[in-house]
Structure 1
Amino acid sequence: MAEYGDYCPVNMATEVVADRWTPLIIRELLLGSTRFNEIARALPGISRTLLVQRLRHLERRGVVETWPSPNGRGREYRLTDAGRDLESVIDAMSRWAIEWLFEDLKPDTVPPTTLMWWMHQRVEPRRFPPHRTVVEFRFRDAGETIWLMLDRGTASVCVQHPGFEPDVVASATTATFSEVFSGVRSWRQSVLAGDIEVHGMPQLTRSLPTWFLWSPWAKVSKERAQRALAAEGAARGTLG
């Protein structure tokens, strides 16, 4: 990896975090991933070899450190103080992209398994039902079904039937689920519009949206979507 000198602080920072995939790895660590496979699962397209290289680079630069896993199998990756201090950098990058690249966002291109992995990272265990609950997500366009099992304050993603009948079934396109997760539209709006179909016990179907925190940038995306919609309406009014 090229080193370009220490004449500029921006240059010094780019040598640490500006390579492709590196900010995304930091994002996953900030969201709570600690195991290699967890990070890899959230980053479709990265090779395991490249992920190893990037993690070693971050470790050498004092951004990441490794610890023995509490269960005694393997090791965990954790951010150092310097790594956690990058949260504001990742947040600023995301906000900038939402503000200036909003029209280029393509929610339908995220793989369903990746989207479900992100969703399971962003849950609110205090709002979970008191009993084990299985939610079946059907991705109409992709022809995939993925289950999320909520039990004892934890959420698990199952790409194969978990062995328990679903308590709630939610069906939509990948783009719709992705737009809800990102904050572009709400779960309630999508259900009322018929874009999401939900079946199950009424108390579960009503409370389901409260089990998720959605994207860390959902509020920003919602505000940007509202401005885009208002601008589009104003343009139509001018043309009319």
Structure 2
Amino acid sequence: MDEKTHNVSGSLCPAMASADILGDKWTLLLLREMFLGTTRFGGFQKAIPRMSPSILSKRLKTLEAAEIIVRKPSPAAQAGEYRLTRSGRELGPIVENMAVWGMRWRKRSIAAQDCDVGGFMWDFHRTLNTQWLPDGKTVILVQISDRTELNTWWVIANGDAVDLCPDDPGHDVDIYLTASLAVLVALWLGDINLKDAIDAQSAFIEGDRHLINSAQDWMAQSPLIGVQSALAER
């Protein structure tokens, strides 16, 4: 058997066997959501808005067939819920290490890419530092200044529960945060802090005085914000 034929044939390499299932961006995004607690079809759609329902359904079936997830009926959800198996749970460190590697070596690419507004705001709302917010309900209106569509988002925090609404839910707004999408992403990634963005007039914040003064504390931030870029070590 020549080298070309050998490479095309089935490989005994376990890494290749894993890549056959996991070597797809939609699959990795789907698994990431499951590790973050998403279990329902509708939740996956909100978290990964660029993923079409047909692709989502196909990837879920692929993961089910590989026994990485199982589908369980749920009285509260007609479509049921998807849960990780032991095999799926063991992928957690792999996905996390890939994220850490991306922050160390691909951070410039991550920040520069065409970010999906809905996907970013989903990450933003669930990484809000709610422990720094007052007791009771706090309504934050995020206005994305350089977008003509999906440019206004209501983030509603009440204790540890945080909801995200692209349409006005009818609540009084406590704090207004206005910036371009690029600046919001930079704030979330930790590339700039809020005070510097406000001083540079690339971000604006108005509303309750206590929330303004504590904004740097409650501002949503990536859970990987402490990972140092490899470029900074040079």
Normalised TM-score (structure 1): 0.83
Match of 2:169 in 1: 162
Question: d(CA) in 2 for partners of 1:81 and 1:123?
Answer: 30
Structure 2 residue 39 is matched with structure 1 residue 34: yes
Specify every segment of 5 or more residues in structure 1 that has no aligned partner in the other structure, as ranges: 232-240
Q: In the TM superposition, what are the counterparts of 1:1-240 in structure 2 within 5 Å?
A: 5=10, 7-69=12-74, 71=76, 73-107=78-112, 109-143=114-148, 144-211=151-218, 214-220=221-227, 223-224=228-229, 227=232
Q: Provide Cα deviations, 1:99-138, integer angstroms capped at 9, x if missing partner.
A: 3333323456223222111112223444332121110001
RMSD: 2.4
Contact 2:125/2:164, CA 8 A, preserved across alignment: yes
For the 8 Å contact 1:184–1:225, the answer to whether it is kept is: no
Shift of the 82–189 alpha-carbon distance from structure 1 to 2, 3 Å rule, reads farther
SS at match of 2:156: strand
Could you tell me the percent identity over the aligned residues?
A: 27
Separation (CA, whole Å) in 2 of partners of 1:140 and 1:227: 30
Q: What displacement does 1:191 show? A: 2.6
Q: Residues 68 and 76 of structure 1 are in contact (CA less than 8 Å); yes or no, is this contact kept in structure 2?
A: yes
Structure 2: gaps spanning 5 or more residues: 1-7
1:70 Cα offset (Å):
5.6
- Once the two structures are TM-superposed, the CA of residue 76 in structure 1 deviates from its matched residue by 1.4
- Separation in structure 2 between the aligned mates of residue 191 and residue 81 of structure 1, nearest angstrom: 46
Deviation of 1:181 after TM superposition, in Å, equals 1.3
Q: SS where residue 105 of structure 1 aligns? A: helix
Cα pair 2:156 2:164 within 8 Å, conserved: yes
Q: Distance in 1 between matches of 2:39 and 2:212?
A: 32
Structure 1 position 151, deviation (Å): 2.1
Deviation at 1:43, TM superposition (A): 1.8
C-alpha contact (below 8 Å) 1:108/1:175 kept by paired residues: no
Mapped to 2, the partners of 1:11 and 1:82 lie a distance apart of 17
Residues 74/127 of structure 1: CA separation in 2 closer, same or farther (3 Å cut): farther
TM-score, L = length of structure 2: 0.85
SS of alignment partner, residue 42 of structure 2:
helix
Residue 212 of structure 1, CA deviation: 5.0
Looking at structure 2, the residues matched to 27 and 212 of structure 1 have their Cα atoms a distance apart, in angstroms, of: 22
SS at match of 2:20: helix
Question: How big is the shift at 1:77?
Answer: 1.5
Distance verdict in 2 for CA 1:108–1:101, change over 3 Å: closer
Structure 2 counterpart of 1:237: none
Contact 1:107 1:179 (C-alpha < 8 Å) held by counterparts:
no
Once the two structures are superposed, residues 115-164 of structure 1 have per-residue CA deviations (whole angstroms, 9 ceiling, x without a partner) of 11111222344433212111000100003111111124311111111101
Amino acid at match of 1:38: G
1:158-201 Cα offsets, whole Å, 9 max, x none, are 11111012100000000010111122222333233322110011
